[in-house]
Amino acid sequence: MKKQNSWIGSFREASDEVNNWRERHPQATFNEIESRVDEKLARIRARMIEDLVIESQLTDFKEMPAAERPKWAATGE
């Protein structure tokens, strides 16, 4: 539950930052807004993944059979 509260706090902080940025940039384009939101959500996503991997019993993927290892989304490797 502690992790989840931390994630919720991070999301609230990111939401506030995006809203504050939007107030300062009222003429922002769709692409600029999308980029800002993606940037903030990427940080939360990375933190969630990091927290879950650290918690995992097996954090050294080299010990896993190659077929069971997670794939990089960008490369599929």
Domain presence at residue 13: yes
- Between 66 and 1, the more confident residue is 66
In a domain, 76, yes or no: no
Q: How confident is the model over 23-72, as pLDDT tens digits? A: 999 999 999 999 999 999 999 999 898 888 877 765 567 777 888 777 76
Domain total in the chain = 1
pLDDT for res 33: 98
Which pLDDT value is given to residue 12?
96
In a domain, 11, yes or no: yes
Question: What is the residue range of 29's domain?
Answer: 2-68
Encoding tokens for residue 19? 């809203």
Q: Does residue 62 fall inside a structural domain?
A: yes
Distances (CA, A) of 36 to 22, 30, 52, 55, 68: 9, 10, 25, 29, 34
Q: Has residue 74 got a pLDDT over 70?
A: no
Residues 6+ apart with CB under 8 A from 7: 44, 47, 48, 51
Q: Does residue 58 lie within any of the structural domains?
A: yes
Q: What is the pTM of this model?
A: 0.66
